[in-house]
Amino acid sequence: MTRDIIPFSELYGENWSRPNFDPHFDNIRTRTKYLHHCSQCRKIPKRSCYTKGHMAFCTVHIKDKDSNWVRHGQRFTVQSGGCDAHPRVQGYNHAIADAFKTGVPAGIEAFDEYDRRDERAELTADAHTEPRGDTPATGDAESILAEADAEAEDQIEKGEYDPEVTVKALRELANRKKWAEKDRRKGTSKPA
């Protein structure tokens, strides 16, 4: 039996199992759906889009309406900067991206590295759990840069600044912009 690149069942719970799973889940925890396409296959998503690392569900711990710690579960494309509420420039969902990029399987412990009582997790408890409607997957470049700048300034003040992290964040932003432009061009080339 081959080992999964990430522990899908442990991360995503009962909704990952075959009878419950729907590739159109916008949030695997809440079972909300949003019709979408796989940005790599350019087709209707399948389970394999998740097992191949094209798409994933956010693994960040948040508090649900009953104040229980749960995985966020919002869908995002792995090549993007992460889920809308938990971008990788803020340190979230790196284990997923790293596992698929390197091909080295990640154990469940890789997804529990941060303190679940972290203030950032508390602030995101009301993160997207409803269908997103027309929310663009790429995000606003200016707000992403502003977040990255604020994060870098905070790290400098704490004496924890790592230029490598900033370079990675800027590369991710460039990739997001490139894919958004490709999607925009493909969208405008389709017949009306």
d(CA 20, CA 92): 26
> Under 8 Å CB-to-CB from 69, ≥6 apart: which residues?
61, 62, 63, 116
Instruction: Say whether both 105 and 182 belong to one domain.
Output: no
Instruction: Say whether both 102 and 183 belong to one domain.
Output: no
Name the domain count of the chain: 2
Asked whether the whole model's pTM tops 0.75, one would answer no
Mean pLDDT of each 10-residue bin along the chain, 192 residues long: 83 94 95 91 94 93 82 92 82 88 92 53 46 41 63 72 67 68 58 36
User: How is residue 101 written in tokens?
Assistant: 């990029």
Instruction: Say whether both 176 and 127 belong to one domain.
Output: no
181-187 own/partner pairs: CB under 8 Å, 24+ apart: 183/39, 183/138
Q: Which residues on adjacent β-strands are paired with residue 74?
A: 27
Instruction: Say whether both 53 and 67 belong to one domain.
Output: yes
Instruction: Say whether both 51 and 103 belong to one domain.
Output: yes
Instruction: Say whether both 72 and 36 belong to one domain.
Output: yes
Instruction: Say whether both 2 and 62 belong to one domain.
Output: yes
Instruction: Say whether both 72 and 162 belong to one domain.
Output: no
What number of CA atoms fall less than 13 Å from residue 59's CA on the CB side?
28
Which residue segment(s) compose the domain that 32 sits in?
1-135
User: How is residue 20 written in tokens?
Assistant: 């419950």
Instruction: Say whether both 2 and 13 belong to one domain.
Output: yes
pLDDT reported for residue 38: 93
